[in-house]
Amino acid sequence: MIELLEHKGLVERQPDRRARLVCLTKNGRARHTQLRKRSEEVRETLYGALEPEELVIVQMALDRIAESFEESQ
């Protein structure tokens, strides 16, 4: 995975005395900003039609699904 991101110019490895660091490149940071913005747009589209009380129910259901998934691992 890291190799693919590195090949695409999104991350770079930086030597450290204790470990290898993987850092976002300028292109990686720009891509992260784009993806974050798009994620917010999608979230607003999906949740925008729901009332606050409905959002609470959806979040509770998603939390239960995540817990169930983690327990199954």
**What per-residue confidence (pLDDT) applies to 37?**
97
**What per-residue confidence (pLDDT) applies to 62?**
94
Question: Rounded to whole angstroms, what are the CA distances from 60 to 23, 53, 54?
Answer: 34, 11, 10
**pLDDT confidence tier of residue 64, bands split at 50, 70 and 90:** very high
CB-based contacts of 5, cutoff 8 Å, min separation 6: 11, 22, 28
| Domain 2-72, CATH | 1.10.10.10
CB-based contacts of 52, cutoff 8 Å, min separation 6: none
| pTM (predicted TM-score) | 0.57
Nearest to 23 by CA among 31, 33, 12: 12
Render pLDDT for 4-46 as a digit per residue (tens, 0 to 9): 999 999 999 887 777 678 899 999 999 999 999 999 999 899 8
- DSSP assigned state of 16: -
